[in-house]
Amino acid sequence: MAVSLAFVPFARHIWCSRIVLDSGALMVVNPVRVYRVPYQDVVRVTATSGGTLLVVTSGRMEIPSTGFGGSVIDAFAGSTNTATDTAEHEVRRRRGSSDTEPGTVRFSREFVGDMCLVASLACLVIHVAGGR
């Protein structure tokens, strides 16, 4: 049971990776970090040759998106190209209405996954304390 609970946080963090086009900023939610970039600081949104969606900022920072990391299926479905076109269009459209707050980087939080990790650790402590 504890092993199953320990798997959930990793799976949730990976599966919940995404690009969010908020009202004032573009957010890249990766498994470990969340990057919030105001639209005015986004230079371009592009796809690499390997199929990864990449956000380039005015500070020359390149932020890859794990949610659009390129795959064999994506080569046929074209989801990265569709997401790139949509994000680039929205960045251009919303550039004047972006937040005045600077971009931020924080650790990613996934409530269900993080609670499963806590439960897994609790199972481990109970198992060790019980002597089994």
Distance CA 120, CA 6 (A): 6
Does some domain include residue 128? no
Q: Residue 99 belongs to what domain range?
A: 17-109
Return the percent helix, strand and coil in the chain, to nearest 5.
Answer: 45, 30, 25
Record the pTM.
0.81
SS3 67: strand
Does some domain include residue 60? yes
Mean pLDDT of the chain: 86
What are the tens digits of pLDDT across the range 17-56?
A: 899 998 889 999 999 999 999 999 999 999 888 888 999 9
Structurally, how many domains does the chain consist of? 1
